[in-house]
Structure 1
């Protein structure tokens, strides 16, 4: 069975990547990419771009959004190829181009540079890449959260405390790194109690088989492989922090404000696909699996560890939950501690984050907004 991966890629410069974004940029089904990035390099390039971007947008009738291969984002491939996005765009008399980008960092750079109007990314990346670069961004769709897809594995240990004094291999500055920080915090420990070593996810499984490897933090399908290795025990996973590692569709705030139909069309298309997935539409799920380079069983195993918000009402509830504000505070604290908010950031509140429960950080510098109104409008219409 071919496995769906989140392969960490090195950062691509936005200027180089811009030439690659078009409808023809769809990669082959075997391409594997990651929601994670080499954050420092990506942020450095994005900051230069963000400084030169105009905060003004205008009414328009053509838009583009991009996505990369991951279980929670495969619905965009289906919505595009089955004409669902086109149908909803036509309803609002606009055009929306849905583009697959074969590198996750490239996709976020495309969005930050203004080459596309929206991009599928995690909540952590939305803060540390476009928002930290001065691009006011809105989480339009809250699609899912990791519910066991990410885990902390220890050799010859059975608790988080057994990590003390050990070397932990992971993709640095990624959601795996964040997961480790949350695990340590849950038992009163910190990264000072161990050593972290940056390791590409493509090397994780081979490294884990080395008897000298002491601990690993990774995601599926590598995580599933490690669980089958003798000597390893999972001591913490993303289901222990439900709702914290979020997958979103992020759009430019000014563009959305000037063109609300753009938001309504995207939300409508997304939840039409969600309805099919919730009903277990095998043809739809098989197409998503094929596009991801896996089979139906492989894709369903990924979805089993992914908490999808299949209805607008479920997503609105997640948007409005007080826990979202707490989650983003954790994300901001971690990001600041790792230097991911920019060298000039004096504290974790440097970038304001607006949630329905209130603003985190600087209210005068809000650069990331969680807006449930478009999803709520669809829920109310059903």
Structure 2
């Protein structure tokens, strides 16, 4: 198996014209009801919170759950994260892994009604701001900050600046690819970077570096999801049951010290280009939902709604909802218990707890 670097996640960026063209073509297309089917495809890309799908596939867990519901589920690795979401949005996959920000800004903003089937985790320290020779975010005023523009790193910077009363206009953002950011920080001219693990640990180890703000200070804002097409799910509930059952079967052991849990972590560490200890270090920077009940409690909380409200405002401010979006309310987002953000007549991103509830109840 080809092993790409384990940090090819979270670049919430398409060329602006491509976003708008995709949205226009999607919204202009006639609405077609999804058909009942027995074969489905899920795309995933390398990141600690998503690579469990590889183990689910190769261990036979997915086949077991698919057989239970008399369907087939093909799990496909796509090395380009954004391309995987583009392909899902274009209808080439029935589901894909994505951050909540990217689920909103690409398929949902493009008119594809999308359901967050599984809320797997949120970043709890795996994303952070590192500064040289300073421990105060306020010292960023007038300085340059290197990061992947329009990614979750950009969002984290916005929240860090907000925490000390600054705005993005008070700094200069320098767009820097994730493959280049560690080398850049090792030069004298780059003083401040925002990135994610394992790059975050690398830059934080540079002499004089200080990790001054990270995602543990904004819990729940950077969520990792498995999303599926809403119409496909409605016509094929077996898909939702099989995917959710398979995911939480692995989660029940992945976070334990059992022999099976350690075997799975060792496998996933090697598959992501590190080892068991390296993979466990990445897990330590995440709030994993090992049990479906924990994911349910989180996504139904006021904190989860407030976090998504912040994400949608950022997405609108950066033009990620498209030129046709007059406000952050353009795309409706639904949560459990009847809570809705934005236009309730244009809901395109749904945090549907139904299948995770079945998992929690042992009803799958």
- Rounded to whole Å, the distance in 1 between the matches of 2:191 and 2:123 is 24
- Rounded to whole Å, the distance in 2 between the matches of 1:117 and 1:89 is 15
What does 1:227-246 align with in structure 2 at a 5 Å threshold? 227-246=204-223
User: Contact 2:4 / 2:79 at 8 angstroms: preserved in 1?
Assistant: no
Is 1:140 matched with 2:130?
A: no
What does 1:85-124 align with in structure 2 at a 5 Å threshold? 85-124=62-101
- Rounded to whole Å, the distance in 1 between the matches of 2:147 and 2:83 is 21
What does 1:70-219 align with in structure 2 at a 5 Å threshold? 70-219=47-196
Partner residue, 1:221: 198
- Rounded to whole Å, the distance in 1 between the matches of 2:5 and 2:80 is 9
- Rounded to whole Å, the distance in 2 between the matches of 1:325 and 1:100 is 30
User: Contact 2:12 / 2:101 at 8 angstroms: preserved in 1?
Assistant: no
Residues 49, 103 of structure 1: alpha-carbon distance in 2 compared, 3 angstrom cutoff: farther
- Judge which range, 111-120 or 312-321, deviates more: 312-321
Residues 377, 273 of structure 1: alpha-carbon distance in 2 compared, 3 angstrom cutoff: same
- Distance apart, 1:49 and its partner CA: 4.4
CA RMSD of aligned residues (A): 1.4
- Rounded to whole Å, the distance in 1 between the matches of 2:344 and 2:223 is 23
Partner residue, 1:366: 347
Is 1:310 matched with 2:299?
A: no
- Distance apart, 1:31 and its partner CA: 4.9
Partner residue, 1:257: 234
- Rounded to whole Å, the distance in 1 between the matches of 2:130 and 2:4 is 27
User: Contact 1:153 / 1:235 at 8 angstroms: preserved in 2?
Assistant: yes
- Distance apart, 1:324 and its partner CA: 1.3
- Judge which range, 118-127 or 226-235, deviates more: 226-235
Number of corresponding residues: 356
- When normalised by structure 2's length, the TM-score is 0.95
Is 1:43 matched with 2:13?
A: no
- 1:150-169: per-residue Cα shift (whole Å, max 9, x none)? 11111222111111110000
Partner residue, 1:329: 309
- Distance apart, 1:57 and its partner CA: 0.6
3-state SS of the aligned residue for 2:326?
coil
- Distance apart, 1:214 and its partner CA: 2.2
- Distance apart, 1:55 and its partner CA: 4.3
- When normalised by structure 1's length, the TM-score is 0.90
- Rounded to whole Å, the distance in 2 between the matches of 1:111 and 1:49 is 14
- Distance apart, 1:194 and its partner CA: 0.8
Partner residue, 1:28: 2
User: Contact 1:35 / 1:70 at 8 angstroms: preserved in 2?
Assistant: no
- 1:24-52: per-residue Cα shift (whole Å, max 9, x none)? xxx61235522224234452453244233
User: Contact 2:132 / 2:192 at 8 angstroms: preserved in 1?
Assistant: yes
